[in-house]
Structure 1
């Protein structure tokens, strides 16, 4: 069975019917009915549908109607391009960041600005939060003038930060106490995938909010997984980043070793890319690592934070993780010269 995602946006108030044909099976038409949404404050909405094809079944479609009142809290390396993609897709986006200047580029694209997380959630139907660490995630959601203060029944809070399961459950409890829905949705991917709308969402929590937020997730990402209860998404993300951190530490050691013995590390990158251990991560990061170029994509401190949280997760179930523990010690090494936040190992 093949599947194709098709995304469409419509700002018309009138009903319309669109008929399209699947590119993989021109004989199967797709009928899409767009209807006005009178209950939302604004009329523009987004429609997302999935088409299935097989020799024995007809095409089916799922139509999702959606308000454009979206909030976004945290406009760092990841949050800014994610919010920008929502704005480009035609949504009304309201933003907040501790440092207001980071909001200015998005305001220039049409975003609205609020002075606190509480004001953002009070004015939006669904609010996303992308914060750097568990402490920031809790403070923004539960602190004074935090997001929870602006939540109420009918609203949704989607936390896309990378945090531990306990933190996610704490935020969930505070949000749901207001009658609102909660979804954790940490992402796999760094700056470039965020810019290109190619993130992977690892979600868990309220299924109705997952279904409601699906069109938004599909704008910002290439795939999404629903993993059940709150905490499962956080755990999955930590396991993924534990693997990535260990993998990149080993790759870095290999590049340095190749240099020390007189080999061309760029050739090593090519050899690895053609072998059984090939990886998009190695192919993407390897060339810049060889040239000692370290454009900001995923700060070292965040990788170390994720390894620390992953090791804590492993400890909670008595799982031995010696390789990840060794990698974590490498990421904890500080650069005494402060010239390169990734010194002394070649890590991007």
Structure 2
């Protein structure tokens, strides 16, 4: 099976490598083409533009940073729309809002091609280990055809129906995650300022009903004020913003998420956007 892959950031690079190592033929593109070199050494072909990748491959996956990047790759010069056609499938695994996903879906459909949105739950390590959770929606037949690739990329994939449902589900998941990280960070700071041992707090949490892999994985580094980027804070704040915009559309109050978003915004103003999203702890600590 030959697959195109657009976007080789922290997530996309790991995902494309997994496909290569599992025997898929992969043609890659990235806005900074030099980022394709590592993949070429593993056997990938390089496309000079998104349209070149689309022309060559029946199926093309995109994993891009935000709605603006997702739209640019489709609609700009040398973009997806210049070569997408009947019989081809476009799978956008970026985290975007449902309006962006629907706009891309409509444009792809007018060209006679199939579209699937398939954002993922998971960060750098799950991407490297093929343990993502894939939240797909759109063309059911295309979903069925992509299952072999999804089985390489993730531990579980869900088909959620019409386009927009995948985007909404991902935003809800990331809104919960950001709110949890904010509360966890406040707890670490409160414990430390109260004279309590923060590692003991981690041990207590890990034995209780709110134990979870995120606290277990992120906590020790946060105590050391180390935030290597597995999921950049700027992307977490973007997802909080999009989730809050969704809540505005349907008049659902989300006071906890709104408060957490303000601290993530503060962290971005303090130039923490490229650190891991757990660096919200640093912003609270200041």
Equivalent residue, structure 2, for 1:344: 283
- Aligned partners of 1:184 and 1:242: how far apart in 2? 19
Kept in 2, the 8 Å contact 1:162–1:186? The answer is yes
Equivalent residue, structure 1, for 2:61: 128
Three-state SS of the structure 2 residue aligned to 1:318 is: coil
Task: Between 140-149 and 96-105, report the one with greater CA deviation.
Answer: 140-149
Runs of 5+ in structure 1 lacking a partner? 1-67
Larger strand proportion, structure 1 or 2? 1
Larger helix proportion, structure 1 or 2? 2
Equivalent residue, structure 1, for 2:240: 307
Moved runs in structure 1, 4+ residues, more than 2 A? 334-343
Equivalent residue, structure 1, for 2:158: 225
- Aligned partners of 2:142 and 2:203: how far apart in 1? 44
Query: Matched residue pairs, number?
Result: 279
Q: 1:300 to 1:211 in 2, by over 3 A?
A: same
Q: 1:289 to 1:129 in 2, by over 3 A?
A: same
Higher RCO (CA-CA < 8 Å; seq separation 6+): 2
Aligned counterpart for 1:197 among listed residues 119, 130, 133 = 130
| Pairwise CA distance, 1:78 | 0.3
Q: 1:180 to 1:278 in 2, by over 3 A?
A: same
Three-state SS of the structure 2 residue aligned to 1:298 is: coil
Three-state SS of the structure 1 residue aligned to 2:31 is: coil
Equivalent residue, structure 2, for 1:103: 36
1:2-60, CA deviations, whole angstroms, 9 ceiling, x for partnerless residues? Answer: xxxxxxxxxxxxxxxxxxxxxxxxxxxxxxxxxxxxxxxxxxxxxxxxxxxxxxxxxxx
- Aligned partners of 1:240 and 1:311: how far apart in 2? 12
Kept in 2, the 8 Å contact 1:131–1:161? The answer is yes
Kept in 2, the 8 Å contact 1:335–1:344? The answer is no
- Aligned partners of 1:303 and 1:121: how far apart in 2? 29
| Pairwise CA distance, 1:267 | 1.1
Equivalent residue, structure 2, for 1:253: 186
Aligned counterpart for 1:326 among listed residues 256, 259, 274 = 259
- Aligned partners of 1:270 and 1:104: how far apart in 2? 43
- Aligned partners of 1:149 and 1:162: how far apart in 2? 23
What does 1:1-348 correspond to in 2, within 5 Å?
68-334=1-267, 338=271, 341=275, 342=279, 343-345=282-284
Three-state SS of the structure 2 residue aligned to 1:78 is: helix
| Pairwise CA distance, 1:113 | 0.3
| Pairwise CA distance, 1:118 | 0.3
- Aligned partners of 2:152 and 2:268: how far apart in 1? 38
Kept in 1, the 8 Å contact 2:120–2:170? The answer is yes
Greater Rg by CA:
1
Kept in 2, the 8 Å contact 1:191–1:298? The answer is yes
- Aligned partners of 1:172 and 1:69: how far apart in 2? 22
1:227-281, CA deviations, whole angstroms, 9 ceiling, x for partnerless residues? Answer: 0000000000000000000000000000011110111111111110110111111
Kept in 2, the 8 Å contact 1:169–1:231? The answer is yes
Equivalent residue, structure 2, for 1:21: none
Kept in 2, the 8 Å contact 1:116–1:145? The answer is yes
TM-score by length of 2: 0.95
- Aligned partners of 1:275 and 1:281: how far apart in 2? 14
